[in-house]
Structure 1
Amino acid sequence: MMMRLQKPRVTGVAALCLAMALPGMGQATEGYFALAYGPAQRGVGGAGVAYSVDPMSAAINPASIGEIGNQMSFGLELFSPRRGFTANGANPLPNGETRSGHDFFPIPNFGYNRTLENGAAFNVLVYGNGGMNTSYPDVVNSNCGTATGIFCGGKAGVDLMQLFVSVGYGRKEGNLSWGVAPTFALQRFAARGLAPFDNSTYSVSPGNVTNNGYDYSTGVGLRAGLKYEINPRLSVGLAGQTRFHMSKLDKYAGLFENYGSFDIPASVSAGVAFKPRSDLTLMFDLQRIFYSDIGAVGNPTTGGQFGAPGGVGFGWDDVDVVRLGAEWQQGPDMTWRMGYAYATNPVGPEDVKLGLLAPGVVEHHLSFGGAKKLNDHDTLDFAVNYVLPHKVSGPGMFGGTVELDMHQLSASIGWTRKF
């Protein structure tokens, strides 16, 4: 089998985030879930299930909604994933190294939290995932005769964007905080360069496999969380999101399992925050993302046809994430953050033949950041994240070997206003 895939005005600011997000995203940290969704959380490696700092904390645990008061935040991350593959005798892939283009992605986020008269609070968030993104050039390929490209069909790759808009409600009652956040999701997807599979031999829906431009799907899920303060120094938290049942990507009904189905997986997280002294907070989180439950992502890369119920998927395993974070308040106006996250690699050696289209194989994430208090109302947050190089090797489609590789670098900045 050959494969080639390719009282601020909340509404106005949220609409701006939507407009900025739609051109494209490229995260691929915990599979294709983001490391975190705001610079304060990125600075501590995405930890914070049991710790609240700004409105974007509710993206990790909605229980934060009832604790953070009246705040608005806006952030922007410049994300740079570097990915590609090296093939050796893995026909039809060209021998040697091939790198994906599109190395820089701007990713905005927006959060708003407001306390209500009854003591509860509501929260609005706009944030995104991405990551199944590759753009391989129209390279000369000796396996293709007069044709070019990694699969003998010109430029090849896939592009997935996921945008989330949530409206949450939460409150703090004694030592217990809780929150719920119904969340709307929008997906955008395109694939190109898959013409060899756009036929009845490989697909149940020829004509709906490749080169059909962008298609969109929508759906709704629920996020919820709890947090309990055992004492002033120790807190624990639990959070999760349901599976998002998305409308089908009809233009790619011949590519994704069950005629274009591409749901968003459920996840669950637990965490502890400990303050050994008043100016230092230590965080430890665990997370599982259930990629294997989504047929288009978790089904094996061999057997069956593209688009069929139970058909070919990307072969991804569930991802387990361990996060460690530390926040030190140097003084009244300056806070420093650092963190580390380890995520298991979802792509096994048996799945590299499709994994080159979405090589989310990285494991080790390093984070550093901080916050500068500008005045009584405004704080500037920043973070830098580096994801160490990681490689996975396995058999090609018709023999030979394929080695996937990726590393990442990102820088983010954000502004938070208390009111």
Structure 2
Amino acid sequence: MKSFYLQVIFLSFSAMMFSQAGHIMQGVGAVNMSMGGAATAQPLDISGAMQWNPATLSVFDDKILKLDIGLFFSSPELSSSLPAGMLGPGAPGVSGTTLDDRGVSPMPALAMVWGKEGSKHTFGVSAFGISGFGVTFPEEANNPFSPTFNPMTNSNPINYPQGAGGFGHIESDYMLLQVGGTWAYQLTNNFSIGIQPTINYSSLKLAPNPTASPSAAGYPSTDKATAIGFGAQFGLFYDSGFGLKLGASYKTAQKFSEFDFDNTYLDNSTSKNSFQMDYPAILSLGFGYSEGDIDLAFDFRRVDYENADGFSKTGWTQTASVAGFGWKNISIVSAGLQYKGINKLPLRFGYTYSSNPIPEEITFFNIPATAVIKNAYQFGFSYIVTDNWKFDAVYHYGDSNGSTEGKILNPMMISPSNPLGAVPGSSVSYKMNTSMVQLGIAYTFNKK
């Protein structure tokens, strides 16, 4: 029964998340997203404050409830090619592109804060979907097993049936819900500290499952496995009192239990395997400035994938399973501007840049997690109905700025000079765009 309730809560708040920066959501809630995710030194709302710097929660002197819900759409494209002769003597080369058919996904966030004017203590709780990836690439119909196979038209070999050397239907579904309890303490009128213990609930489904060893029938598909993780975030915040604000925070690695997969192969045989995937540590540094009707925010983040289980290792194991994603550390830059010159209608503009964590040589291993966004642009606004009620909205557009591209890998082709088994003359690549509309509502208690 306890497990059932956890699943209901998780599905309600994190039905499907997609990557923005690596597999990390660039922001939480309509206000924070509209500022490009920048909030480490410019706390404009409670959701952004608790996501990026718990110390900034000290600026809120009221009891506030915040709910956001968005509709997120992504359009990944998966392409691959094989040179002439790979499908048999005299066979022509093949190439093609497969479009993702997952559709629209919800993106919710919930937060509440308890502050009191004159008190040095501020408390908050939050439930955010902070991470995820997911793709659904159907099996290629124009494949060598089809009686109408035509290699001269669009034919994507990476999606050929496993019996024809491809992966067939490719699907992944990873989601992470983080629940945090935040405490901020104002040491002086200008300086605050904050701490946020976190508990995390994640699920992962893979079809096929490359972390399992293949059999004569190929790689298996999995059920949806779950894992629990724990971590914390610490923050510092300085407000000069004349507009300048500085902030820093460190979110520890969120250490998870293992995903325990129940695998089913194409011949209906079964197996089990385990895979651990932690959430990486994140260092955030922020700058903010407020003057009159203008609020500026700038954040820099460093994401430590290279020391996170599930991401630190890669390559083939001795049984031809994949050891991990093999991602590199990335940098994220977020910038936002808020203009408050229109009565009751503040406007916001945001931009987010993220480097790509996937090295060219292991593009193939990361087909289940193709959603890497390099540039993201946001426009948002709020409408202040009364002192108690406020509505927020944001529109987001992101792109990968071209494709992540490498070679198809085959463990049967491993040699001392070709340790990953790259297929000569082959290619595999993916790219995507994202768009989102998100609405939020905030209620401040006891204001008249």
Q: TM-score, normalised by structure 1?
A: 0.86
State the Cα distance separating 1:331 from its structure 2 match: 3.2
CA distance in 1 between partners of 2:8 and 2:66 (Å): 13
| 1:362-402 CA-partner distances (Å, limit 9, x unpaired) | 21111110111011111101111111243122111233111
In structure 1, what is the equivalent of residue 125 of structure 2? 124
State the Cα distance separating 1:330 from its structure 2 match: 2.0
Relative to structure 1, the CA distance from residue 137 to residue 365 in structure 2 (aligned partners, 3 Å threshold; closer, same or farther) is: same
Q: Indicate if the aligned counterparts of 1:27 and 1:129 stay in contact, CA closer than 8 A.
A: no
1:272 paired to 2:272: no
State the Cα distance separating 1:314 from its structure 2 match: 1.6
Residue among 206, 213, 229 paired with 1:219: 229
In structure 1, what is the equivalent of residue 350 of structure 2? 339
Relative to structure 1, the CA distance from residue 195 to residue 342 in structure 2 (aligned partners, 3 Å threshold; closer, same or farther) is: closer
Cα RMSD of the aligned pairs, angstroms, is 2.9
State the Cα distance separating 1:151 from its structure 2 match: 5.0
In structure 1, what is the equivalent of residue 27 of structure 2? 36
Name which of structure 1's ranges 31-40 and 353-362 shifts more when overlaid on structure 2: 353-362
Name which of structure 1's ranges 160-169 and 58-67 shifts more when overlaid on structure 2: 58-67
CA distance in 2 between partners of 1:306 and 1:105 (Å): 34
Corresponding letter in the other structure for 1:150: N
Corresponding letter in the other structure for 1:136: F
State the Cα distance separating 1:178 from its structure 2 match: 1.5
1:59 paired to 2:51: yes
Q: Indicate if the aligned counterparts of 2:325 and 2:365 stay in contact, CA closer than 8 A.
A: yes
Name which of structure 1's ranges 222-231 and 33-42 shifts more when overlaid on structure 2: 222-231
Q: TM-score, normalised by structure 2?
A: 0.81
1:393 paired to 2:405: yes
Q: Indicate if the aligned counterparts of 2:10 and 2:201 stay in contact, CA closer than 8 A.
A: no
Q: Indicate if the aligned counterparts of 2:123 and 2:181 stay in contact, CA closer than 8 A.
A: yes
| 1:16-55 CA-partner distances (Å, limit 9, x unpaired) | 8644235x31321011110101110000100110011222
CA distance in 2 between partners of 1:401 and 1:200 (Å): 25
Corresponding letter in the other structure for 2:344: D
Corresponding letter in the other structure for 1:82: S
State the Cα distance separating 1:212 from its structure 2 match: 2.6
| 1:181-216 CA-partner distances (Å, limit 9, x unpaired) | 101100101111348964379xxxx99x74231111
1:137 paired to 2:138: yes
In structure 2, what is the equivalent of residue 98 of structure 1? 98
CA distance in 2 between partners of 1:139 and 1:228 (Å): 56
Structure whose alpha-carbon radius of gyration is higher: 2
In structure 2, what is the equivalent of residue 7 of structure 1? none
Residue among 166, 176, 188 paired with 1:162: 176
Name which of structure 1's ranges 222-231 and 127-136 shifts more when overlaid on structure 2: 127-136
Relative to structure 1, the CA distance from residue 144 to residue 189 in structure 2 (aligned partners, 3 Å threshold; closer, same or farther) is: farther
Residue among 394, 407, 419 paired with 2:433: 407
Q: Indicate if the aligned counterparts of 2:78 and 2:97 stay in contact, CA closer than 8 A.
A: yes
Matching of residues 288-303 of structure 1 within 5 Å: 288-302=302-316
Relative to structure 1, the CA distance from residue 143 to residue 362 in structure 2 (aligned partners, 3 Å threshold; closer, same or farther) is: farther
Task: Determine what percentage of the aligned residue pairs are the same residue.
Answer: 21
> Alignment partner of 1:58: what SS?
helix
> Alignment partner of 1:66: what SS?
helix
Unaligned regions of 5+ residues in structure 2, if any? 1-5, 88-92, 150-156, 163-167, 265-272, 410-422
Residue among 185, 191, 197 paired with 1:171: 185
Matching of residues 230-379 of structure 1 within 5 Å: 230-251=240-261, 259-275=274-290, 277-302=291-316, 304-305=318-319, 312-379=323-390
How many residues get paired? 393
Residue among 157, 161, 171 paired with 1:152: 161
Q: Indicate if the aligned counterparts of 1:25 and 1:130 stay in contact, CA closer than 8 A.
A: no
Relative to structure 1, the CA distance from residue 124 to residue 188 in structure 2 (aligned partners, 3 Å threshold; closer, same or farther) is: same
State the Cα distance separating 1:107 from its structure 2 match: 1.1
> Alignment partner of 1:251: what SS?
strand
CA distance in 2 between partners of 1:302 and 1:349 (Å): 16
In structure 2, what is the equivalent of residue 5 of structure 1? none
1:81 paired to 2:74: yes
Q: Indicate if the aligned counterparts of 1:131 and 1:360 stay in contact, CA closer than 8 A.
A: no
Matching of residues 101-116 of structure 1 within 5 Å: 101-115=101-115
Residue among 173, 188, 199 paired with 2:203: 188
Corresponding letter in the other structure for 2:140: V
CA distance in 1 between partners of 2:286 and 2:434 (Å): 25
Corresponding letter in the other structure for 1:97: T
Unaligned regions of 5+ residues in structure 1, if any? 1-13
> Alignment partner of 2:372: what SS?
coil
> Alignment partner of 2:57: what SS?
helix
Q: Indicate if the aligned counterparts of 1:346 and 1:360 stay in contact, CA closer than 8 A.
A: no
In structure 2, what is the equivalent of residue 4 of structure 1? none
Relative to structure 1, the CA distance from residue 338 to residue 118 in structure 2 (aligned partners, 3 Å threshold; closer, same or farther) is: closer
Relative to structure 1, the CA distance from residue 149 to residue 323 in structure 2 (aligned partners, 3 Å threshold; closer, same or farther) is: closer
CA distance in 2 between partners of 1:232 and 1:395 (Å): 54
Relative to structure 1, the CA distance from residue 306 to residue 337 in structure 2 (aligned partners, 3 Å threshold; closer, same or farther) is: farther
Q: Indicate if the aligned counterparts of 1:215 and 1:251 stay in contact, CA closer than 8 A.
A: yes
Corresponding letter in the other structure for 1:140: A
> Alignment partner of 2:36: what SS?
coil
